[in-house]
A and B are shown apart, each in its own frame.
Chain A
């Protein structure tokens, strides 16, 4: 059992979570498949019943996930991996999943997920955050409260500030 941050009704909460991320697939069959988050690279090789058993998949920023979006949309959860926090590709992947492909299920950030990135991640459509295990998740959750103003539209609110400024005058 581990803990993640989840947005519940838009409010970040620390919650217990029973899913686990399979980083690499070896010959051994995955047990408890209903709790596993499988690599996209493995998921795309599965067919028929095997594919149907998968509930959750994680996407690496190197994965060409777009051709398989119709299959991804049938899952319970999609995770996006941040191999290192400086790698910002995951923000665009999340933006596309939400705004272009209409993913409405859980979108979880995994990997090098740190406190000072959480707000950007939320704005790009993540609603679950697996904060890196060596960091204090109760500290990390504080970072959502820093900003009340945003200039540009994003997944969380596609309407840029200038359209609201316009309304006021």
Chain B
């Protein structure tokens, strides 16, 4: 079937490739179950199909290419959640979805169900090129320069089952963005690409390499600018070949490309890539206008109605209902088309729900709203929220009422309780500490929306271990779970930021016990409230006063 929405539609090639992958994996699972494959041999095969072994069960991570879903696809995710899992799924910081309670023998059936709506789990883990990400407002953002989705799709196809790069030293993440404000965290990726038009009006790429979080967080370095878009694939191939050959393989904590770029220096790394690229440039991988247009056509939305004068009604509704007004201010974004808006449904209503978790019933509802009010399309943000990208402003109030009934209208986008969190030690076998109970305790302490609203933009990111799936380094406040002699402790960083002014947070001092965390965050926030110049966002205050005042306030009051 064809998914609805304005998104890439599989042709016979795409469909056949995914079907062949399902058949191959069915065979691999059968060989594992019969004992023909050892667990060691099966491991990279299942990882490249998105299957992780967690504490209690297998977890399946399904790819949501650059965060775009159709209503039909979201309904299929709901179906999977209630048929094969415990009725919910978890949206990730890679714009994907994870199901936490999967039986190995059912995994091939799930992949077959996914294939029926043009979805798969290919390369959602393992040491290969992962899901290509971009920002959640691609195609609708008012500050967009160019739609990044066509090139993201072209990269997705190029990287899918790429024979040379299936066994890289480590995982490899690529992000692509093309708007004034970077909402795709481009510089924390192994390769980050900004697309823009140069002075001559040509579509060109600015390429960064060597970013990443984990044990050694590093922002990427620019290695190329003004690269004509036609060279996207050959240039990325050159980067990957240099990395595949020379990236370290002796220590998994030193195997990401960031370590290679740092060891060589960004200039020397760029020179290596250039030398490799000289052999590939203008070869058959050079993109054609025809292919770009073939792919770009899928993303052209021409269903917009000519609308205007809607704002008066909206303003009246906002004046009548303070809660609605607050939701519009926080969770509704300007759209490039007059009369439309992009809505973010928060998956973080408070302590009872882990960030990013959405139930099957909620998925069904969201799919229905996307059809009733939009063009049957949904986006997933790397902040783990769900976006309805094309909502008529005159429908906002209706949508808000229904979203509120389903627990999806918390007006906390960008506020402290819009936390990013990995699943942590409750599920993940890599974790040193649990993330979700700490997130819940903090959400409980900060349940006064008026107070949060006054605090303004403040990101709080929690990772249960150094692998940093919760992007803690990029949070204005970051929390990292660490293991000390078998006990769970939490280290706090301050001053991290994503976007155009990306920064890595600094550790404020010794770590804390879980039960201390709400109090610690409270003292950080109190320090901010005291030092803040009126209206200043948290990150600006930190930039102005440094981390010292926060440090002294947090530690002097610690018993």
CB of A149 within 8 A of CB of B17, answer yes
CB of B127 within 8 A of CB of A86, answer yes
| A60 adjacent to chain B (CB < 8 Å) | no
Identify which of residues 108-122 in chain A touch chain B, using a CB-to-CB cut-off of 8 Å. 114, 116-117, 119-121
| A105 adjacent to chain B (CB < 8 Å) | no
CB of A146 within 8 A of CB of B163, answer no
CB of B20 within 8 A of CB of A148, answer yes
Given A91-B244, A160-B284, A120–B163 Cβ distance below 8 Å?
yes
Tell me, rounded to whole Å, the shortest Cβ–Cβ distance linking A70 to chain B.
17
Q: How far is the CA of A124 from the CA of B167 in the complex (A)?
A: 13
The 0/1 profile, CB within 8 Å of A marked 1, for residues 270-295 of chain B is 00000000010001110110110010
CB of A89 within 8 A of CB of B20, answer no
From A124, A149, A160, B163 is in contact (CB under 8 Å) with A124
The 0/1 profile, CB within 8 Å of A marked 1, for residues 3-42 of chain B is 0000000010110110010011001100000001000010
The 0/1 profile, CB within 8 Å of B marked 1, for residues 128-169 of chain A is 000000000001000000111111111000111111011001
The 0/1 profile, CB within 8 Å of B marked 1, for residues 61-78 of chain A is 100000000000000000
Residues from chain B with Cβ under 8 Å of A146 in the complex:
20, 23-24, 27
Residues from chain A with Cβ under 8 Å of B249 in the complex:
87, 89
Given A86-B127, A160-B284, A100–B279 Cβ distance below 8 Å?
yes
Which of B154-162, B216-224, B411-419 forms contacts with chain A? Answer: B154-162
The 0/1 profile, CB within 8 Å of A marked 1, for residues 135-172 of chain B is 00000000000000000001001111111111110000
Given A146-B24, A149-B16, A86–B291 Cβ distance below 8 Å?
no
Residues from chain B with Cβ under 8 Å of A148 in the complex:
16, 20
Q: How far is the CA of A163 from the CA of B41 in the complex (A)?
A: 35
| B245 adjacent to chain A (CB < 8 Å) | yes
Residues from chain A with Cβ under 8 Å of B531 in the complex:
none
Residues from chain B with Cβ under 8 Å of A86 in the complex:
44, 127, 167
CB of B164 within 8 A of CB of A151, answer no
CB of A165 within 8 A of CB of B13, answer yes
Tell me, rounded to whole Å, the shortest Cβ–Cβ distance linking B283 to chain A.
7
From B17, B164, B283, B291, A162 is in contact (CB under 8 Å) with B291
Residues from chain A with Cβ under 8 Å of B158 in the complex:
151-152, 160
Q: How far is the CA of A52 from the CA of B240 in the complex (A)?
A: 36
For the complex, count residues of B whose C-beta is within 8 A of A: 42
CB of B241 within 8 A of CB of A92, answer yes
Given A88-B244, A100-B279, A150–B168 Cβ distance below 8 Å?
no
Mostly helix, strand, loop or mixed at chain B's interface? helix
Q: Max chain B CB contacts within 10 Å: which of A93, A162, A169? A: A162
Residues from chain B with Cβ under 8 Å of A120 in the complex:
163-164, 166
Residue of B nearest to A149 (CB): B17
CB of B288 within 8 A of CB of A92, answer no
For the complex, count residues of A whose C-beta is within 8 A of B: 38
Given A149-B20, A165-B294, A91–B164 Cβ distance below 8 Å?
yes
Residue of A nearest to B128 (CB): A88
Residue of B nearest to A158 (CB): B284
Q: How far is the CA of A95 from the CA of B162 in the complex (A)?
A: 12
| B45 adjacent to chain A (CB < 8 Å) | yes
Residue of B nearest to A147 (CB): B20
Q: How far is the CA of A150 from the CA of B233 in the complex (A)?
A: 15
Residues from chain A with Cβ under 8 Å of B283 in the complex:
158
| A123 adjacent to chain B (CB < 8 Å) | yes
Residue of B nearest to A114 (CB): B41
Q: How far is the CA of A9 from the CA of B249 in the complex (A)?
A: 36
Residue of A nearest to B156 (CB): A151
Given A147-B17, A166-B290, A119–B41 Cβ distance below 8 Å?
no
Residues from chain B with Cβ under 8 Å of A117 in the complex:
167
CB of B161 within 8 A of CB of A124, answer no
Given A87-B249, A116-B28, A146-B20, A92–B164 Cβ distance below 8 Å?
yes
From A92, A116, A149, B13 is in contact (CB under 8 Å) with A149
Q: Max chain B CB contacts within 10 Å: which of A89, A93, A114, A148? A: A89
The 0/1 profile, CB within 8 Å of A marked 1, for residues 233-260 of chain B is 1000000010011000100000000000
Q: How far is the CA of A57 from the CA of B17 in the complex (A)?
A: 36
CB of B167 within 8 A of CB of A91, answer yes
CB of A152 within 8 A of CB of B288, answer no
From A88, A116, A154, A161, B157 is in contact (CB under 8 Å) with A161
Residues from chain A with Cβ under 8 Å of B294 in the complex:
162, 165-166, 169
CB of A116 within 8 A of CB of B245, answer no
Q: How far is the CA of A114 from the CA of B241 in the complex (A)?
A: 22
Residues from chain B with Cβ under 8 Å of A154 in the complex:
162-164
Q: How far is the CA of A87 from the CA of B167 in the complex (A)?
A: 6
Residues from chain A with Cβ under 8 Å of B41 in the complex:
85, 114, 116
Tell me, rounded to whole Å, the shortest Cβ–Cβ distance linking A62 to chain B.
10
Residues from chain B with Cβ under 8 Å of A87 in the complex:
167, 249
Q: How far is the CA of A146 from the CA of B45 in the complex (A)?
A: 14
Residues from chain B with Cβ under 8 Å of A149 in the complex:
13-14, 16-17, 20
Given A147-B17, A147-B161, A166–B168 Cβ distance below 8 Å?
no
CB of A163 within 8 A of CB of B164, answer no
Residues from chain B with Cβ under 8 Å of A116 in the complex:
28, 41, 45
What are 23 inter-chain pairs, A to B, with CB distance below 8 A? A85-B167, A86-B44, A86-B167, A88-B165, A91-B167, A91-B244, A92-B244, A95-B241, A100-B279, A116-B45, A117-B167, A123-B164, A139-B36, A147-B161, A148-B16, A148-B20, A151-B13, A152-B158, A152-B285, A160-B233, A160-B284, A162-B287, A163-B288
Given contacts A124-B163, A149-B14, 10 further A-B contacts (CB under 8 A): A86-B167, A88-B164, A88-B167, A92-B245, A100-B279, A117-B167, A150-B163, A151-B157, A154-B162, A163-B284
Nearest first, the 8 closest Cβ-Cβ pairs linking A and B are A88-B167, A123-B163, A120-B163, A149-B17, A162-B291, A151-B157, A146-B24, A91-B164
Residues of chain A whose beta carbon lies under 8 Å from any beta carbon of chain B: 61, 85-89, 91-93, 95, 100, 114, 116-117, 119-121, 123-124, 139, 146-154, 158-163, 165-166, 169
